[in-house]
Amino acid sequence: MEGLVYIALFAPLVSSLFAGSFAMTSKKQFVGVISSFLLFTSFVASAILGYHVLATNEAIHVKLMDWIVAGDLNIPFGFIVDQVSVTMMFVVTLVSTVVHVYSIGYMDHDKSFNRFFSYLSAFVFSMLVLVMSDNFAGLFIGWEGVGVCSWLLIGFWYHKADVARDINPSISPSWAANEAFIMNRIADLGMLIGIFIIYWNVGSLQYDVVFNAIPNMTQIVLTTAAIALFIGAMGKSAQFPLHTWLTDAMEGPTPVSALIHAATMVTAGVFLVIRANPIFEVTPDVSYFIAALGTFVAFFAASMALVNRDLKRIIAFSTLSQLGYMFAAAGLGAYWIALFHLGAHAFFKALLFLGAGNVMHAMDGELDIFKMGGLKKKMRWTYMYMGLASLTLAGIPPLAGFFSKDAIIETAFNEGSLILWAMLVVTAGMTAFYSFRQVFLTFHGDERYHEFGIHPHEMYKYVLIGMSPLAILAVIAGFFKDGFNDFIIKILPNYQMSEHTHHLALYLGLIVLAVAVSGIVLAYIKYNKGLVRSEKTENSFIYKLLANQYYIPNLYEAVISKPYAELSKLMWKNVDMKIVDATVDGIAKVLYKSGDKSRGMQSGNLSNYLNWMAIGAIVLLVVAILSLVA
């Protein structure tokens, strides 16, 4: 089994190096096929490892080598394949394989095709290091690797300048990549502090050692460590107030959006909370804060999606909202439910993003749903895929989203957090509305794209076939809920509903379903026949507030970005130029001038040399006399 662990882990790295070696050549399809095959190999190895863990209930530990050895510090480069990590491995490699196959068609005309595949595979390798490491240091290395690769991928089209659009502010890919990178670095400082706190008090960063030492740690230390770790999770999973980078990351190619938002980077924060659950279990105040913040973010993001016109950004807001659901479950102690929703969400969200990529490809890069309409006649397969994914996202039974999201809402009720429960229920209704608002405006009604000279067409057949595993899993994944529960509670706490909640489960489910169906019906009534715009509505305070993301990006620009830029200019002109540069230049000038003046000593005249020798002898004699007197 150790060999399979290495295959699962390093196949994406081999793929990245292989694609990178062809970066300057025109061999595209060949590179794409080989890279996709290597990712599929990683998926097969992960699936076999998952079956082994399921059959034996035994974790696989692998120590590749000693990594950091200094004094009492000993951190091996080791990996663990247990119920949690193998679930993440399965989800990550499956979605990544589909995204790689999809990218062969989507990036076909891009001149940097091979470079893109190199970055994409490196991203998957970093994510696998993150989820498979058996210690916090290895997790942090994967964490930072994912950050670097996301910067490369979001800013992949770095040559594109800012473009002012009706639906988006002027944001270039480079700007979006820098925003994501910087905002995550801010949060990662908190995570690094948490890791330092753990090592300072335990003397190790191995998961098993740290978790076994929890009874010997004080409550204040545990609480501080939990807060610091969650700050890192907030950045990576884009929780408020570190959320603005996630929607701006849509400036990257659509396959990147599918990979980052479905199964990899943004779920890393949720994974961290689940993996470190022994720490969060004994810090209930921090855990409840996580649940409350997650619920707020779920509602907050869904409200912004209600009025957005950018197809990819609507789905991005949806991702942000669903991450809130995951954190709500984890914060309430239902870790296995959070992980189950993470997996189910990965399948239907990747399907949604790839469907959006098909639409964008067909519409010559256009993303404004107000300029679409009637596309179901031209793109039947994409319409079916996105309709299915939207039904799953809305939580309609018997699709996967119903089982996972309903369980989270039921958990909030079970914990007696009725405010959280009510907010999550309302969010479910908003989710259904904005999901089908985009479906109806994109695929139903008048063919508005004719006004803009666009001639849409369906995506390549092999790309559509490659998307089918995600569609199948979006349908059937929910039926594995009980089996997944039995599998995962071997390592995670088994969260069970009370008898009272169990008896009310049917009624609670019907309430959520009724709210979701109402959202779909409302979207159908308003948008099925086409776009109907109301100037009064679009000029209202609430509409503008939501369309401008509560003016939070403007606030950050006014309070943080602009003052920092002005301070930087001030420091550059008055400190860097007038003090630092002036000091360095002054030293250089003094040395140069002193050398230039002393050059006259080397005149070649013997009498001058004797005079200088006499002066030197006098100086030495004076120094000697002064030292004796002293």
pLDDT in tens, 301-346: 999 999 999 999 999 999 999 999 999 999 999 999 999 999 999 9
Which residue, among 368, 375, 339, 306, has the nearest Cα to 82 in the 3D structure?
A: 339
Which of 63-72, 358-367, 441-450, 616-625 is the least confident region?
A: 63-72
Q: How confident is the model at residue 164 (pLDDT cuts 50, 70, 90)?
A: very low
Residue 172 has pLDDT above 90, yes or no: no
Distance CA 220, CA 209 (A): 19
Residue 597 has a pLDDT of 75
Q: Which two tokens stand for residue 360?
A: 């964008």
Residue 53 has pLDDT above 70, yes or no: yes
Give the side-chain half-sphere CA count within 13 A for 26. Answer: 1
Cα first-last separation, the chain: 79
Residue 187 has pLDDT above 70, yes or no: yes
Residue 285 has a pLDDT of 94
Residue 249 has pLDDT above 60, yes or no: yes
**Percent residues over pLDDT 70 in the chain:** 98
Q: Are 242 and 183 in contact (CB under 8 A)?
A: yes
Averaged pLDDT for residues 212-227: 94
**Which residues in 25-34 are b (16+ Cβ under 10 Å) and which e?**
eeebeebbeb
Residue 72 has pLDDT above 80, yes or no: no
Residue 165 has a pLDDT of 52
pLDDT in tens, 597-626: 777 777 777 777 788 788 889 888 888 888
Residues across the chain = 630
Q: Are 251 and 173 in contact (CB under 8 A)?
A: yes
pLDDT in tens, 491-544: 999 988 888 888 888 888 899 999 999 999 999 999 888 787 777 888 889 999
Task: With 0.85 as the threshold, say if the pTM is over it.
Answer: yes
pLDDT in tens, 87-101: 999 999 999 999 999
Instruction: Give the residues across from 135 on adjacent strands.
Output: 206
597: phi then psi, degrees, rounded to nearest 5: -70, -40
pLDDT in tens, 421-455: 999 999 999 999 999 999 999 999 888 887 777 78
Concatenate the DSSP letters of all residues of 471-498 into one string.
Answer: HHHHHHGGGGHHHHHHHHTTTS------
Averaged pLDDT for residues 270-290: 95
Which of 127-131, 297-301, 497-501 is the least confident region?
A: 497-501
Distance CA 234, CA 269 (A): 7
In single-letter form, the type of residue at position 414 comes to: N
